[in-house]
């Protein structure tokens, strides 16, 4: 057992430095995640919901190794998880062209030496997969719309063909119509590449549309977990009910 789980998180506690407290104060750390247990199954889209500030990004960053100060276990079947960030305006380097941004993950790949031809071929494959055209490769990020930028961010994350993609509120900064397009793109990529996605959102409606499982987080704890249909039909905790009401579902 366990081989069908790509990520197993056991009793995870994550801490941040508290910059407000004086260096002499005793509790200089903020305890953000308080014993999170969560499994991500191979090939699924797992939705992680919860209000802003509850620790969703903290969990995502812990998985990809950006939060070093934690206790507990994070077991990953593949070590290649990539992440897409919320703000498509700050996640693309403004001084680089799209083609450069897409090629960079391959140029710095430590597991494989890519030739120029291989890089070009992969860049062309990915630009098509994210629904953009080759003439965009020569553009700078500020010549793209928010939705197009988010597509590029997703493309950059996909360049090394990761088995796991963590999308941290990838549509929260976008217009509703654009949101739908990006969600569709994620679903297509999920089908086409069989990639496992941890999809983070504060919007339960979005999660309902695309996820196989949903986990509801509150104050650094997973409060509810299950298939979206069941969770939405009879939520066990009041907090989930509140979220459903505020999302206009109940």
Partner 1 sequence: MKKFLSMFKKNKATGKRNTYLIMGTIITGLIVIIVLVGLFYTPYSPTKMDSSAKLQGFSFKHIMGTDHMGRDVFSRVVYGSRITLAIATFTVLIGAGLGTIIGAITGYFGGILDEFTMRVVDAMLAFPSILLSLVFVSLFGTGTYQVAIALGISFVPSFARIVRGEVLRCKNMDYVEVARLQGVSDLRIIFVHILPNITGVLVSTIMIGFNNAVLAEAGLSFLGIGSQPPYASLGNMLSDAQSYLFSRPSYVLGIGATIVLMVLGFSFLSEGMKRWK
Q: Which residues would be at the binding site for Mg ion (CB under 5 A)?
A: 57
- The SS3 assignment for 56 reads helix
**108 touching partner 1, by CB under 8 A:** yes
Examine residue 16 and tell whether it contacts ligand ADP (CB under 6 A): yes
The dihedrals phi and psi of 48, each to the nearest 5 degrees, come to -115, 115
Residue of 37, 42, 51, 104 interacting with partner 1 (CB under 8 A): 104
SS3 state of residue 205: helix
54 binds, among partner 1, Mg ion, ligand ADP, none (CB under 5 to 8 A by kind): ligand ADP
Phi and psi, residue 52, nearest 5°:
-60, 135
Full DSSP string of 146-167: HHHHHHHHHHHHHTT--SEEEE
Total residue length of the chain: 250
Say whether residue 201 binds ligand ADP (CB under 6 A).
no
Q: How far apart are CA 52 and CA 173, in angstroms?
A: 13
Here the tokens at position 236 are: 């066990």
- CB contact at 8 A, 222 and 229: no
- Name the token pair of 200: 């983070």
Q: Using the rule CB under 6 A, which residue among 9, 54, 127, 183 binds ligand ADP?
A: 54
Per CB under 6 A, 53 contacts ligand ADP: yes
Instruction: Based on the shown chain and the rule CB under 6 A, indicate whether residue 58 belongs to the binding site for ligand ADP.
Output: yes
Query: Does residue number 105 form part of the binding site for partner 1 (CB under 8 A)?
Result: yes
Q: Which residues, numbered 44-73, are part of the site for partner 1 (CB under 8 A)?
A: 64, 66
Please choose which of ligand ADP, partner 1, Mg ion, none residue 91 contacts, taking the beta carbon within 5 to 8 angstroms, the exact cut-off set by kind. Answer: partner 1
Pick 32 or 144: Cβ nearer ligand ADP: 32
Residue carrying structure tokens 């919320």? 86
**Residue 68 Cβ vs ligand ADP, minimum distance, rounded to whole Å:** 12
Which tokens is 69 given? 């100060």
Nearer to ligand ADP by Cβ, of 54 and 207: the residue is: 54
Residue 247 CB-density burial (10 A; 0-12 exposed, 13-18 middle, 19+ buried):
middle
When CB distances are held under 5 to 8 angstroms depending on the partner's kind, the choice from ligand ADP, Mg ion, partner 1, none that residue 55 binds is ligand ADP
Nearer to partner 1 (CB atom), residue 64 or residue 180: 64
Q: Which residues bind partner 1 (CB under 8 A)?
A: 64, 66, 82-83, 85, 87, 90-96, 104-105, 108-110, 153, 156, 160
């Amino acid at each position: 057992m366990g081989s069908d789980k790509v990520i197993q998180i056991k009793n995870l506690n994550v801490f941040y430095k508290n910059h407000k407290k004086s260096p002499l104060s005793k509790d200089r750390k903020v305890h953000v995640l308080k014993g999170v247990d969560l499994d991500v199954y191979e090939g699924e889209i797992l939705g992680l919901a919860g209000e802003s500030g509850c620790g969703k990004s903290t969990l995502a960053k812990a998985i990809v190794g950006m939060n070093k100060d934690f206790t507990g276990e994070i077991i990953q079947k593949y070590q290649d998880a990539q992440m897409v960030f919320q703000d498509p305006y700050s996640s693309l380097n403004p001084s680089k062209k799209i083609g450069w941004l897409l090629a960079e993950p391959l140029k710095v790949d430590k597991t494989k030496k890519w030739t120029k031809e291989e890089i070009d071929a992969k860049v062309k494959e990915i630009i098509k997969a994210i629904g953009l055209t080759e003439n965009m490769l020569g553009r700078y990020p500020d010549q793209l719309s928010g939705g197009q930028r988010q597509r590029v961010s997703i493309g950059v994350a996909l360049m090394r063909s990761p088995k796991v993609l963590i999308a941290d509120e990838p549509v929260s900064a976008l217009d509703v119509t654009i949101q739908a397009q990006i969600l569709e793109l994620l679903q297509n990529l999920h089908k086409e590449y069989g990639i496992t996605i941890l999809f983070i959102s504060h919007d339960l409606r979005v999660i309902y549309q695309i996820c196989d499982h949903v986990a509801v987080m509150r104050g650094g704890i997973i409060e509810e977990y299950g298939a979206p249909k069941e969770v939405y039909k009879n939520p066990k905790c009041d907090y989930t009910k509140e979220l459903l009401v505020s999302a206009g579902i109940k």
